[in-house]
Structure 1
């Protein structure tokens, strides 16, 4: 745990007692603050009270006694409308901050020069965060990984001169972190997302930009217009990352399964690394290489770390083989943009898709349909997706994941291709048939193992 001491002796209001909120309350108490916590869920309130956290309905509180409102990132700050606690805090003239801000204040107080890598972007954050942490850990560095991935930031060990914090940040978290100042800041990409929480794409991009604008060194993917404009606006040190032919000046380029410096020097060979398939993962690897080079890792350590990277569950996760057939769990692909990455990475695909469809469906994936040998439809989107595929991709209405997995495995085994792929990349939310995308992916993994 990192005790948050910057509110020692003062009282703060805290709203949102999920995983990070509970960790924040405990961190503040460990740092000497008095916390009055609240949540709309009575069960969350009860769990907090059982751990010694004072709880109350903040509607009945005297807000003049509070030094700040500590807000969980999932609670609306501005759009579609400010949460009622935000309005109360504004009326009382209180700062509204989150757990990452508490970490930044603690770092400034106890170890201002400690390495702090912060990663954001619309897609690829988790893989890039995990890859950076893996490369550093394999090289023997003391690494703490968390934030929007896995462990709440205040549950990690405190900042220290020889300890590297590698932290994934969502736009919600950045919005609650006014003093964010990473030693290395990463912006991977920007595409429309969470506009219900930020209002417009420009506002969303502006929040993402704050992370790299405040960094000692910025590493920015420049393959979309908003990110490229942000990179051009940075006045400090910036490393530009491009997937394509020519390396940007002073930056890195990823192409043909390798990463190159601007002068043409090959920095990494990604061929044969199953967890880093596809152009999007080439970008993730190039970003990670730029970061760890800045933190002192050499070529041999980087090469060894890349080869041993296990990847992340549910993100193009290789879950098994039967003969020539590869089974890939990409359950995290809950929209067409995410599924695009998986379809681009493979050929002769036996594609399992469906669930609760997102706006736009799978029509944006039409340019990749020629990679699909057969589609196996499940869940609520079956009729809509069948209409999109009609006459373009052979498909079977399977209804359930177990039926789709069996059918895809049988057909793939008969394919003459050198490596047929059974790919679960649903392009849909999971909650029509599953508890979560993790539950969907776990069930697919178990079904694959049961085929043996």
Structure 2
């Protein structure tokens, strides 16, 4: 835990008592703050009370006594309309912040020079975060990984000299972190997302920009117009910018050229690393993730040899294009984290012959955007509520069966792939759907897939 000492002896209001909210309340209390917490869910309030956290309905307290209001990132700050606690905080003139802001204040107070890498972007941030942490850990560095991935940031070990922090930041967290100041800040890319919470694409982009604008070094993907303009603005403001690209060469920065990662300075480029053969970093999207990781690790002092070793030994992000098993020339891939069509596209683009398991609780838009990848799909195995809709989209373009359940889909896909003598193939769970019709979350769905594959005869597990 990171005790939040920067509010010692002061009163702090807190709303949102889920996992990160409870951790934040406990960290504030451990640092000497007087916390008054609340949640719209009575069960969450009861859990907080059982943990010894002071609770009170924030509609009936004196807001003038609070030095700050800590809001859970899952609670609306601006859109579709501010939560009622936000209105009360504004009326009282109380600043509204989140757990990432508390972390950055603690770092500045106790170890301002300890390296801190923050990662954001619409797609790829979890893989990039995990990759950076792996490179740092494999090079022998004391590394803390958290934020929007894994552990809540205030449950990490406290900042100290020589300790490296790698923190994934969602747009919601950035919106509540006005003084975010990483050593290296990464903005991977921007496409429309969470507009129900941010109103417009421009507002969404403006929030993401704050992370790199406050960085010592800004690492920015320049393959979309919003991010490219952000790189220019941040650079004009005086921040050092390292541009990265998966699509084209750069005069300065790090870019992908096939499976090669090139490092360019003053118009001269040289090979930095070859991603060929690294199963966990297949595809152009992972080339961008790797480029960002290289740029960030160089910024915090990791040498080329350690970075290349870390790239080669990266085990992959669990449930994201994760090779979990092999049988002869068949690889079984767990991509359960692909909960919509856009998220499924990278995995489908990374293999030539695919036995595709898809379906679940459908998202708006279905899988029509995946049509360019249909020629790669040997057969589809459809599960869950989306099966009839997906079948209609596939039509005569892709052979399919409605398997219904994941266990049947795995058994049938594995059997069909075993009869395929056309070359290397992938049996892939990349659902392009939420899991909630059959599973609690995508993690449980992915673990079920792993279990079903492990039960097959003759497979060699890779995890």
Q: Answer yes or no: same fold by TM over 0.5.
A: yes
Structure 1 residue 422: Cα displacement: 0.5
In the other structure, the counterpart of 2:241 is 238
CA distance in 1, matches of 2:232, 2:374: 36
Offset, 1:142 = 1.2
Q: CA deviation at 1:418?
A: 2.3
* 1:236-385 to 2 correspondences below 5 Å: 236-246=239-249, 248-262=250-264, 263-385=268-390
Give the TM-score of the pair, scaled to structure 1: 0.98
Whole-Å separation in 1 of the counterparts to 2:306 and 2:436: 41
Alpha-carbon distance in 1 for matches of 2:302, 2:67: 42
Could you tell me which residue of structure 2 aligns to residue 439 of structure 1? 444
- Shift of residue 44, structure 1, vs aligned partner: 1.8
SS, match of residue 349 in structure 2: helix
Match of 2:461 in 1: none
Quote the Cα distance in structure 2 between the aligned partners of 1:43 and 1:245.
Answer: 52
The whole-number CA distance in structure 2 between the counterparts of 1:228 and 1:368 is 28
Indicate the SS of the match to 2:269: coil
Q: RMSD of aligned C-alpha atoms?
A: 1.1
Q: How far apart are the structure 1 equivalents of 2:132 and 2:72?
A: 26
Does 2:114 match 1:119? Answer: no
Deviation per CA, 1:11-32: give whole Å up to 9, x if none.
Answer: 1110011111111111111111
Displacement after TM superposition at 1:293 (Å): 1.2
Partner Cα distance (1:314, 1:404) in 2: 17
For residues 176 and 299 of structure 2, what CA distance do their matches in structure 1 show?
27
Q: Distance in 2 between matches of 1:245 and 1:82?
A: 41
CA distance in structure 2 between the aligned counterparts of 1:293 and 1:395, rounded to whole angstroms: 47
TM-fit CA distance, 1:43: 2.2
May I ask how many residue pairs the two structures share in their alignment?
A: 451
Q: Which of 423, 427, 431 is residue 422 of structure 1 equivalent to? A: 427
CA contact (8 A) 1:117 1:185 kept: yes
Question: Cα deviations across residues 94-146 of structure 1 (Å, max 9, x unaligned)?
Answer: 10100111111111212222211100001111110011111011111111110
- SS where residue 7 of structure 2 aligns? coil
Structure 2 residue matching 1:265: 3-state secondary structure: strand
8 Å Cα contact 2:247-2:256 kept in structure 1: yes
1:314 Cα deviation after fit: 0.5
Corresponding residue SS for 2:191: coil
Contact 1:73 1:173 survives alignment (8 Å): yes
> Contact conserved, 1:6 with 1:105, CA < 8 A, in 2?
yes
Per-residue deviation at 1:8?
1.1
1:202 paired residue number: 202
1:185 aligned counterpart, secondary structure: strand
Question: Which 4+ stretches in 1 moved above 4 angstroms?
Answer: none
1:426–1:189 CA distance, 2 compared to 1 (3 A): same
Within 5 Å, give how 1:66-81 maps onto structure 2. Answer: 66-81=66-81
Give yes or no for contact 1:182–1:215 (8 Å, CA) kept in 2: yes
CA distance in 2, matches of 1:298, 1:417: 42
Q: Which TM-score applies when normalising by structure 2? A: 0.96
Question: Does 2:88 align with 1:55?
Answer: no
Q: Is the 8 A contact 1:255 1:279 kept in 2?
A: no
Greater alpha carbon shift after TM alignment, 99-108 vs 39-48: 39-48
- Determine the C-alpha separation between the residues in 1 that align with 2:337 and 2:433: 9
- Farther-moved stretch of structure 1 (63-72 vs 201-210): 63-72
Equivalent residues of 1:25, 1:35 under 8 A apart: yes
C-alpha deviations, 1:299-325, integer Å up to 9, x for none? 211121111111111101111112221
Distance, in Å, in 2 between the alignment partners of 1:115 and 1:371 is: 43
CA contact (8 A) 2:171 2:204 kept: yes
Separation of aligned partners in 1, 2:224 and 2:343: 16
C-alpha separation in 1, matches of 2:304 and 2:292: 15
